[in-house]
């Protein structure tokens, strides 16, 4: 193939049909797009070889995203790591509880009306459209409008169906609450006995789709899978960078639309319907995900002063986005608050109903951005903590996602520092790495057992284990703790946690706690007064609260009145974003309530606040420099010291 001189090798490869993985979005940072050049016969220029060793370069390796073609080039593309596809459709899905007493006539905006029209005559030459409007007025739908494609079809449908038709109507106007209803489709005969919608959560990593029976309000099909954009960047920043080049924005849109469409088809099959029967779609997602879905350039999101193009997108149709729902389906992207507090968080507030909470509530969606919200029914404050992806297994040498082979929990023996761990998978599954919940519990265990001090320094003096090998040793990048020996692991290499990994994890937890602290401080409340702590996000479901408190990731709260356990204050909410989208799908008033929520949420820009750095560095200890904030951890440590002393005596 031919490309203009000066083209990037990555672009040329894409044009030639090779889809190279670019988890860093083409920044030359991850090294995953390496290809091999026959340098003797090729005229290319390596702009950067950051992730390649001298030996790699000598062997001809080059980063496709950092290599410019300047003449003929002979390129060998290695087989690409494929993202493990994990399309999940739950046949016997967990039954999702209806979040309120649903009444289609009262709550639902997309309705079906069977109309038995008078046929026209020379005495009644009313045009087809006015005839439909007149009949709908008889059903209480006073004003109605329709898009051109609907009008193009009405004449034939009316006549083919002998004037007996089902009108599918969105009672809510396009862009104005008091405006006319919209006729979305006219179907022949009586098809008023079913009605479907879809709730969608576009996560940076995972996209979730629920197909909902709008007559009963029940979830009838569920499906989830990796976001197809993941090959173009694992985090939002990488994706924004990738989307900023050439025609990549359109590609990013196509990738996520493709994922949603596949999931819609799967969930519809499960629900016993078809995507073109879906007439309403409510979509949650962070601000970058919504921008990419709508092909709105997201670049300003990553650059100071971090301003999105739009926090509240207009209502669209499925046809506008290329979704496989009915082309006229109402697509409502829920509103966000800021570049780093998006619709996923406002949907979370909606679904947890913290905007109606009587008592002080703290909500966190644990993830890369650590979005948190603090408040009551009176006020809400929010911030994004830029925790980084350490708790998702990235930036940690043996980190991985929570899939088969991941160590998900670790216990450390307080006597000799020897670990025990649990691996995701079948019985006897060998570990390949450590996922977020495993890292969190490992960190807490190492600290509480004294294998590591409060600054995160590993105790190099820890005595050798029963087999004579040292768990804490000096590794290639400083001190490291061996969680699993090579003979136990799936790949034969030791699985370790290094000081560098520990520092990354400490920074992540410190950022989140500092965020809590800043919010509380800015409104003048005490974190210890938090009445309930709501934990959202898929990672959130797997963390051990006690250990999260021990490392100072979550605040140390007293037991609630009438309860012996402080853990009663912590509630795992699961995917609050999809639940919020589900609420928005069911209730006409949800959009107004969401508008109210985002209007009420004060966004705290941590990078603009000089005291954030102090709060952050104070939290760079286990659990915190100020131990009085963590009385239960202090008590645990004291008890352990007593026990050690007693044992030593």
Residue placing its CB nearer to its own copies in the complex, 160 or 626: 160
Distance (Å, rounded) from C-alpha 539 to C-alpha 391? 8
Shortest CB 169 distance to its own copies, Å: 14
Residue placing its CB nearer to its own copies in the complex, 309 or 525: 309
Half-sphere exposure of 313 (CA within 13 A, CB side): 28
Residue placing its CB nearer to its own copies in the complex, 194 or 310: 310
DSSP string, 344-396: HHHHHHHHHTGGG-SS-EEEEE-SSS-EEEEE-SS-EEEEE----GGGGTTTS
333, 313 contact by CB (below 8 A):
yes
Burial of residue 488 (CB within 10 Å: 0-12, 13-18, 19+) is middle
Shortest CB 276 distance to its own copies, Å: 21
Q: How far is CA 306 from CA 111, 237, 299, 303, 597, in A?
A: 40, 12, 9, 5, 21
540, 365 contact by CB (below 8 A):
yes
Shortest CB 130 distance to its own copies, Å: 7
3, 12 contact by CB (below 8 A):
yes
Shortest CB 159 distance to its own copies, Å: 7
Say which residues have a Cβ less than 8 Å from residue 187's Cβ, sequence separation at least 6.
157, 165, 166, 168
Residue placing its CB nearer to its own copies in the complex, 110 or 267: 110
| Range list of β-strands (E), 38-160 | 44-46, 61-63, 67-69, 75-76, 88-89, 110-116, 144-146
Residue placing its CB nearer to its own copies in the complex, 178 or 649: 178
SS3 at position 495: strand
Q: Which residues bind its own copies (CB under 8 A)?
A: 120-130, 143, 145-148, 151-152, 154-156, 159, 173-176, 178-180, 294-297, 299-300, 304-314, 316, 320, 338-339, 603, 605, 607-608
Residue placing its CB nearer to its own copies in the complex, 64 or 200: 200
Residue placing its CB nearer to its own copies in the complex, 156 or 455: 156
- Under the phi-then-psi rule, with left for phi > 0, alpha for psi from -120 to 50, and beta for the rest, what region is 561? beta
Shortest CB 38 distance to its own copies, Å: 40
Q: How far is CA 560 from CA 354, 467, 524, 567, 570, in A?
A: 18, 46, 21, 9, 10
Shortest CB 361 distance to its own copies, Å: 24
The C-alpha angle 10, 12, 13, rounded to 5 degrees, equals 65
Say which residues have a Cβ less than 8 Å from residue 250's Cβ, sequence separation at least 6.
295
Residue placing its CB nearer to its own copies in the complex, 274 or 309: 309
Residue placing its CB nearer to its own copies in the complex, 31 or 120: 120
Residue placing its CB nearer to its own copies in the complex, 308 or 555: 308
Shortest CB 170 distance to its own copies, Å: 12
Alpha-helical segments (H) within 112-200: 128-138, 148-160
Shortest CB 413 distance to its own copies, Å: 48
- Under the phi-then-psi rule, with left for phi > 0, alpha for psi from -120 to 50, and beta for the rest, what region is 499? alpha
Residue placing its CB nearer to its own copies in the complex, 106 or 156: 156
Shortest CB 6 distance to its own copies, Å: 23
Shortest CB 385 distance to its own copies, Å: 16
Distance (Å, rounded) from C-alpha 465 to C-alpha 470? 6
Shortest CB 175 distance to its own copies, Å: 4
Residue whose entry in the numeric block shows the structure tokens 């947890």: 352
């Amino acid at each position: 193939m031919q490309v203009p001189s000066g083209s990037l090798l990555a672009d040329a490869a894409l044009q030639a049909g090779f889809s190279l993985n670019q988890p860093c979005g083409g920044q030359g940072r991850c090294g995953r797009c390496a290809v091999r050049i026959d340098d003797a016969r090729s005229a290319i220029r390596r702009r950067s070889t950051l992730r390649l060793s001298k030996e790699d370069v000598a062997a001809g390796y080059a980063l496709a995203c950092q290599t410019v073609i300047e003449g003929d080039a002979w390129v060998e593309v290695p087989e690409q790591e494929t993202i493990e596809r994990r399309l999940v459709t739950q046949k016997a899905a967990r039954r999702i509880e209806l979040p309120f007493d649903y009444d289609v006539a009262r709550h639902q905006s997309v309705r079906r009306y069977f109309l038995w029209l008078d046929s026209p005559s020379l005495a009644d030459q009313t045009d087809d459209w006015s005839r439909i409007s007149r009949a709908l007025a008889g059903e209480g739908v006073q004003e109605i409008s329709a898009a051109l494609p609907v009008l193009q079809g009405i004449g034939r449908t009316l006549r083919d169906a002998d004037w007996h038709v089902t009108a599918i109507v969105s009672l809510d106007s396009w862009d104005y609450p008091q405006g006319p209803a919209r006729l979305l489709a006219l179907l022949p005969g009586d098809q008023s006995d079913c009605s479907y919608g879809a709730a969608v959560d576009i996560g940076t990593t995972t996209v979730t789709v629920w197909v909902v029976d709008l007559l009963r309000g029940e979830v009838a099909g569920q499906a989830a899978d990796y976001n197809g954009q993941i090959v173009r960047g694992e985090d939002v920043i990488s994706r924004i960078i990738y989307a900023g080049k050439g025609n990549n924005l359109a590609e990013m849109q196509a990738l996520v639309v493709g994922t949603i469409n596949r999931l819609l088809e799967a969930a519809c099959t499960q629900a016993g319907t078809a995507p073109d029967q879906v007439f309403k779609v409510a979509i949650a997602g962070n601000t970058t995900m919504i921008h990419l879905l709508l092909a709105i350039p997201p670049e300003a999101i990553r650059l100071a002063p971090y301003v999105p193009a739009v926090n509240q997108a207009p209502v669209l149709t499925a046809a506008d986005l290329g979704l496989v729902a009915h082309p006229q389906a109402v697509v409502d992207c829920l509103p966000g608050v800021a570049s780093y507090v998006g619709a996923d968080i406002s949907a979370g507030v909606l679904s947890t109903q913290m905007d109606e909470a009587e008592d002080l509530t703290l909500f966190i969606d644990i993830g890369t951005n650590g979005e948190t919200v603090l408040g009551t029914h009176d006020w809400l404050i929010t911030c994004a903590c830029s925790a980084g992806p350490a708790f998702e297994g990235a930036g940690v040498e043996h980190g991985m996602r929570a899939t088969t082979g991941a160590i998900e929990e670790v216990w450390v023996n307080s006597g000799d520092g020897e670990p025990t761990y649990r691996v995701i998978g079948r019985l006897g599954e060998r570990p390949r790495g450590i996922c977020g919940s495993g890292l969190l519990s490992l960190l807490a265990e190492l600290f509480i057992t004294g294998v590591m001090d409060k600054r995160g320094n590993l105790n190099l003096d820890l005595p050798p284990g029963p087999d004579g090998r040292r768990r804490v040793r000096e590794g290639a990048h400083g001190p490291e703790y061996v969680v699993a020996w090579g003979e136990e692991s799936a790949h034969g290499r030791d699985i370790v946690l290094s000081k560098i990994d520990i520092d990354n994890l400490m920074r992540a937890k410190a950022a989140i706690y500092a965020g809590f602290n800043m919010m509380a401080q800015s409104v003048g409340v005490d974190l210890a007064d938090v009445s309930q702590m709501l934990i959202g996000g898929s990672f959130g479901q797997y963390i051990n609260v006690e250990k999260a408190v021990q490392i100072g990731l979550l605040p140390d709260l007293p037991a609630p009145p009438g309860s012996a356990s402080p853990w009663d204050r912590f509630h795992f909410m699961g995917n609050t974003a999809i639940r919020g989208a589900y609420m928005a799908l069911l209730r006409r008033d949800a959009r107004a309530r969401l508008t109210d929520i985002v209007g009420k949420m004060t966004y705290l820009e941590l990078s603009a606040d000089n005291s954030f750095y102090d709060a952050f560095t104070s939290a760079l200890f286990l659990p915190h420099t100020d131990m009085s904030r963590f009385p239960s951890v202090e008590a645990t440590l004291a008890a352990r010291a007593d026990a050690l002393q007693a044992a030593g005596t």
